[in-house]
Amino acid sequence: LQRGKYQPRRDLDADALKELTSSILKQGVMQPIVVRKTNTDRYEIIAGERRWRASQQAGLDSIPAIIRDISDEAAIAMALIENIQREDLNAIEESLALLRLQDEFQLTQQQVADAVGKSRSSVTNLMRLATLEPAVQKQIELGEIELGHAKCLLALNGSTQVKAGREVAANAMTVRQTELLIKRLQTPDSNKASGVKNTVNADILRTQEDLSQKVGAAVTIQHSTKGSGKLIIKYHSVDELEGILAHIK
């Protein structure tokens, strides 16, 4: 047996693996792993790597397995689905795995969504996490900030995004507090002198959230005291733009 080349997990939690090993020692392997044959007469694990590793630690010399003859595209989709259903992946691992699925097989975001059983907007939001600064991605992996915070931080760039991420974690901010922080950071200092408020009306925030959910992308409303303003929809690819336009139509 060998580790699957499409395994989306980058790390295995040591404590969780220890618990699974203990369970296998007491009850055996309750669910077979799924494998496929490689060109070198070995078997590659598609689903069940944790069970395989725990079985090794338990000292077992064999493990029940189901052999499947499937394509690379089906293999990565199956590996993703198993981990997503078990909630084993953090948001960054899931983001990178979805992007790999899209890139390797030239799929649209809708095709990726169909393959893993998620909505297109959910897939789009997850994929966008890969554009976050590495330091912020690490915060997500460590559980210092959650997906809702990360979506807000996408509105910032570079060192500003990193500093905001640290502030969110240090102060255990809610998503709403994070939204207000982002708005404050996006407001130029010159606006203070001209009397423009540094906070966003709660109704505008709710409208932004509603629009973001409907179009599956980050929406910003810049509203002046005179009643005029701008509606800004951010996107990161032509494919994402097409998805936004499809929602609007």
Residues with a known catalytic role: 49
Contact 38, 6 (CB under 8 A): no
Neighbours of 138 (CB within 10 A): 13
Contact 120, 110 (CB under 8 A): yes
Q: Phi first, then psi: give them for residue 92, nearest 5 degrees.
A: -70, -45
Joined together, the tokens standing for residue 88 give 């084993």
Return d(Cα 37, Cα 34) in angstroms, integer: 11
Contact 43, 1 (CB under 8 A): yes
Joined together, the tokens standing for residue 99 give 């992007």
- The angle at the Cα of 127, spanning 117 to 148, to the nearest 5 degrees, equals 90
CB within 8 Å of 122: residues ≥ 6 apart = 113
Return d(Cα 78, Cα 127) in angstroms, integer: 18
Closest CA to 197 of 185, 186, 187, 212: 187
Joined together, the tokens standing for residue 7 give 């395994």
Q: 């789009």: which residue's tokens?
A: 124
CB within 8 Å of 222: residues ≥ 6 apart = 229, 230, 232
